């Protein structure tokens, strides 16, 4: 008997862009910020669209990152309205359609030091909701039992997010693989789905899952809606979480499954009223602060953003400045751009812009490549720390007794320890490891 599922992922409820955002702009007064609300609207929209699918789906599968926080770099719970939105939307959908929903835990919404999950409290509030948390995964491995949900014509095997570093430090890699191959086996000749949250890029997508003969593998973690293999797809995120996602098609997948056959995938895409613009502006060797600022103002005008404020269509803007000029410094340009931002985002401005941020590339030889994986989210993101730190040193008066290369090495190595790229302690030996 064939089965039909809706596959969604990475909804990141509670995301709140904070850098360069117009102040005191609410979607609902004192409840939700304007850009935060975009994520809530997309969440409600995809469930409304899934409810209209004909023939209807048998189950909705969410492959992780329901909420945006907590996660490793942000221990706070998601905003209360994010949790209320999840409850209201899921309750309405299940009550009106009778279609069950399965959600696994991703790396977002996961407490780092507590053996509790927000998905558990959500399940108590929403009849018909099934969840698989990291605690459920640990218990299944410990008890040598499968982690699955069975429906009338479908079995769903769950693989909540677990960091490979955690498995390695616990000497659990082989045990985890053995659990997959021994206990996560299909036992009936009917459609089977695996749902997991991971990517090869950060070593969290485990190859054993692909050896089990599942008819479809519902992937989460990558925000691009994309085919991974013939029977494994990323649903992607329904809202633009980062500026490097502006070119991605957003939405959800409808998957028709028959046992032993390749699934039939039908992507469904959303349309957006709010532009999210991620553009480059070149700096030439003769540019001045004034000429660059004038070019920025021309860019806003050319892109139709010098119009009256409309909260529905107000744009999110990121500009990347590339190149060097002998007539300006990065510090001077940063001050000028900050002044421009105050002008653009002021309440009485003639710019229909909700957010304006920028990056400065100190050398035209350094190609800007935005992070392609979604788990890195920080307003302090440094994409080329060595170039950025050297650029910063150029704005200072450095004692000639200090070597710029040594200072840069210390700064970059310190940053690598701070963000967990290197393990152990910061020592003089660490500075010499790459030499």
Indicate if 284 and 233 belong to the same structural domain. no
**Structure tokens of 368?**
């800007």
Q: Are residues 258 and 362 in the same domain?
A: no
Single residue among 233, 252, 269 that ends a domain in this structure:
269
pLDDT at res. 389: 72
Single out the residue in 252, 269, 286 at which a domain terminates: 269
Q: Which residue bears the tokens 């139709």?
A: 304
- Shared domain check, 62 and 155: yes
pLDDT at 362: 63
Maximum distance among all Cα pairs of the chain, rounded to whole angstroms: 77
- Number of neighbours of residue 150 by Cβ within 10 angstroms: 14
pLDDT at 199: 96
Place of tokens 């695996």: 194
What is the residue-averaged pLDDT of the chain?
A: 89
What is the number of other CB atoms lying within 10 angstroms of the CB of residue 79? 21
Question: And the tokens for 414?
Answer: 């310190």
Same domain for 262 and 286? no
Same structural domain for residues 326 and 264? no
Q: How many domains does the chain divide into?
A: 2
Q: How far apart are CA 177 and CA 226, in angstroms?
A: 26
pLDDT of residue 367: 43
- Are 40 and 167 in a shared domain? yes
Tokens representing residue 105 in the block:
């835990």
Per-residue pLDDT, 363: 56
pLDDT of residue 396: 67
pLDDT of residue 413: 77
What's the rounded Cα separation, in Å, for the pair 210 and 196? Answer: 11
pLDDT confidence of residue 375: 42
Domain hosting residue 9, numbered range? 3-269
What pTM, to 2 d.p., does this model score?
0.83
Nearest 10 degrees: Cα torsion 418, 423, 424, 430: -80
**CATH number of the structural domain spanning residue 51:** 3.60.21.10
Same domain, 228 and 304: no
Same domain, yes or no: 264 and 281: no
Comparing C-alpha atoms, which of 275, 257, 274, 258 is closest to residue 266? 257
Q: What are the strands of the beta sheet with 59-62, ordered from one edge?
A: 129-132, 101-104, 59-62, 3-8, 251-257, 264-269
Rounded CA separation 66/132 (Å): 12
E-strand ranges in 11-116 read: 26-28, 32-33, 59-62, 101-104
DSSP code, position 285: T
Indicate if 200 and 329 belong to the same structural domain: no
Low-confidence ranges of the chain (pLDDT < 50): 364-381, 435
Instruction: Kindly state whether residues 296 and 156 are assigned to the same domain.
Output: no
Task: Give yes or no: residues 125 and 75 share one domain.
Answer: yes
Same domain, residue pair 300 and 424: yes
| pLDDT the model gives residue 115 | 84
pLDDT value of residue 355: 97
Interval 25-82: pLDDT, tens: 999 888 899 999 999 999 999 999 999 999 999 999 999 999 999 987 788 899 999 9
Of 223, 254, 269, at which residue does a domain stop?
Answer: 269
Query: What is the spatial distance between Cα 129 and Cα 123, in angstroms, rounded to a whole number?
Result: 6
Task: Determine the pLDDT at residue 379.
Answer: 38
């Amino acid at each position: 008997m064939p089965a039909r599922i809706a596959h969604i992922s990475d909804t990141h409820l509670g995301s709140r862009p904070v850098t360069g955002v117009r102040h005191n702009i609410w979607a609902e007064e004192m409840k939700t910020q304007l850009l935060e609300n975009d994520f809530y609207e997309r969440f409600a929209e995809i469930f409304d669209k899934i409810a209209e699918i004909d023939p209807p789906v048998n189950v909705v599968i969410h492959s992780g990152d329901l909420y945006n926080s907590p996660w490793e770099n942000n221990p706070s719970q998601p905003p209360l309205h994010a949790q209320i939105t999840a409850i209201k939307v899921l309750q309405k959908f299940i009550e009106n359609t009778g279609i069950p929903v399965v959600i696994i835990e991703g790396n977002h919404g996961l407490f780092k030091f507590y053996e509790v999950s927000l998905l558990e409290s959500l399940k108590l509030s929403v009849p018909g909701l099934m969840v698989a948390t990291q605690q459920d995964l640990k218990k299944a491995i410990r008890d040598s039992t499968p982690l699955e949900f069975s429906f009338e014509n479908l079995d769903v095997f769950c693989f909540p997010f677990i960091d490979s570093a955690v498995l390695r430090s616990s000497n659990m890699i082989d045990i985890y693989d053995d659990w997959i191959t021994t206990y996560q086996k299909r036992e009936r000749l009917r459609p089977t789905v695996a749902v997991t949250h991971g990517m090869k890029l950060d070593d969290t997508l485990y190859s054993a899952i692909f050896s089990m003969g599942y008819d479809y593998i519902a992937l989460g973690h990558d925000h691009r809606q994309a085919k991974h293999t013939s029977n494994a797809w990323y649903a992607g995120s329904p809202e633009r979480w980062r500026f490097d996602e502006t070119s991605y098609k957003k939405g959800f997948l409808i998957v028709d499954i028959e046992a032993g056959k390749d699934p039939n995938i039908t992507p469904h895409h959303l349309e957006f009223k709010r532009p999210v613009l991620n553009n480059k502006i070149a700096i030439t060797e003769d540019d001045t602060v004034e000429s660059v600022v004038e070019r920025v103002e021309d860019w806003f005008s050319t892109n139709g953003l010098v119009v009256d404020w409309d909260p529905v269509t107000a744009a999110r803007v990121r500009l990347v400045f590339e190149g060097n000029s002998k007539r300006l410094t990065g510090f001077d340009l940063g001050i000028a751009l900050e002044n421009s931002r105050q002008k653009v985002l002021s309440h009485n401005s003639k710019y229909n812009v909700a957010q304006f941020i920028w990056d400065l590339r100190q050398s035209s030889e350094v190609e800007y490549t935005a992070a392609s994986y979604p788990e890195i989210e920080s307003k302090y993101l440094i994409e080329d720390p060595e170039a950025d730190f050297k650029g910063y040193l150029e704005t200072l008066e450095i004692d000639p007794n200090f070597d710029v290369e040594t200072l840069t090495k210390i700064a970059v190595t310190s940053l690598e320890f701070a963000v967990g790229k290197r393990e152990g302690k910061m020592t003089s030996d660490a500075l010499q490891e790459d030499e």
